[in-house]
Chains A and B, each alone.
Chain A
Amino acid sequence: MSPIPFEHGLIVAGILFCLGIVGVLTRRNIVFVLMSLEVMLNACGLAFIVGAARWGNADGQVMFLMILTLAAAEVAVGLGLIIQIYRRFHTVDINVLSQMKG
């Protein structure tokens, strides 16, 4: 079994991250935006795991666990916010939700 090159793992993480960015920037539905954010977070976790595999070190996995925790908390709060927003404004279009403009 030939070893997997380190950079390939990172490239996969990078591609996923960039796809997440495109999703965040193009979608107007706030649920899609949140999903794209999950993709980006997941890509970060992947990069950590790849790093852990490179050095044979468990610290990368610990960091992945932290990211996982963060993602869980973020999704919980974010979805709660989405529900509240939908109740108030009856829309999920982020371009309509621009009350915070200066």
Chain B
Amino acid sequence: MTILFYLASAIAIISTLCVILQTNIVHALIYLILSLLAVAVIFYVLGAPFAAVLEAIVYAGAIMVLFLFVIMMLNMGQHTRDQEKSWLSARGWIAPGVMAGLLLVQLLSVFAQIDQDLSGQRIDVMAVSGLLFGPYVLAVELASILLLAGLVSAYHLAKK
């Protein structure tokens, strides 16, 4: 299992790197789905099967399909590669790279001070749903309202 964790982590990081470097948007989207599935594996390894399933269904499934639809509607793909290439200049990478690198170094330096192990204990659907419909029921209701609002506004915005 430990090896699976590191393997999945490596796949997630590499595929995410590909996402931000890709010039073909459809390929980038495929890499993103790969990255999300790898993260789903990590979830499973970390003892969160419910989260892993939702990650696969909602993120890698529903949300990415939405992206795909939009890319189709905007008619992007192979022929926009050159444009994407021209937009990605070497100089544009310097400042974001430096800042993200700094942030990462700081995060690492903080994380390095931790010396603890994960429990590896499975937390199944029962425990999560017990919490969801117990103390967090208000948050669930609010989340549902948020989704409804998102639905309405997306419908309204995308209208001609």
Bound complex: CA A65 to CA B160 (Å): 33
Instruction: Name A19's contact: one of B16, B62, B92, B115 (CB within 8 Å).
Output: B16
Who on chain A is nearest to B160 by CB? Answer: A87
B139 contact set on A, CB distance < 8 A: 62, 66
Name B91-149 residues within 8 Å CB distance of A. Answer: 92-93, 95-97, 99-101, 103-104, 107-108, 111-112, 114-121, 123, 127-128, 130-132, 136, 139, 143, 146-147, 149
Bound complex: CA A31 to CA B128 (Å): 33
A23 contact set on B, CB distance < 8 A: 19-20
Contact A35 B118 (CB under 8 A): no
Bound complex: CA A56 to CA B116 (Å): 13
Contacts A38-B63, A93-B87 hold; do A61 and B118 have CB atoms under 8 A apart?
no
B103 contact set on A, CB distance < 8 A: 17-18, 21
Contact A56 B19 (CB under 8 A): no
B-contact 0/1 string along A45-60, CB 8 Å cutoff = 1100110111111110
B42 contact set on A, CB distance < 8 A: 9, 12, 46, 49
B-contact 0/1 string along A17-37, CB 8 Å cutoff = 111111101111101101110
Q: At the interface, is chain B mostly helix, strand, loop or mixed?
A: helix
B67 contact set on A, CB distance < 8 A: 31, 34-35, 75, 79
Who on chain B is nearest to A95 by CB? Answer: B87
A62 contact set on B, CB distance < 8 A: 128, 131-132, 136, 139
Contact B51 A28 (CB under 8 A): no
B156 contact set on A, CB distance < 8 A: 80
Contact B20 A22 (CB under 8 A): yes
Binding site for A on B (CB under 8 A): 1-2, 5-6, 9, 12-13, 16-17, 19-20, 25, 28-29, 32, 35-36, 39, 42-43, 45-48, 50-51, 54-55, 58-59, 62-63, 66-67, 70-71, 73-74, 76, 80, 84, 87-88, 92-93, 95-97, 99-101, 103-104, 107-108, 111-112, 114-121, 123, 127-128, 130-132, 136, 139, 143, 146-147, 149-151, 153-158, 160
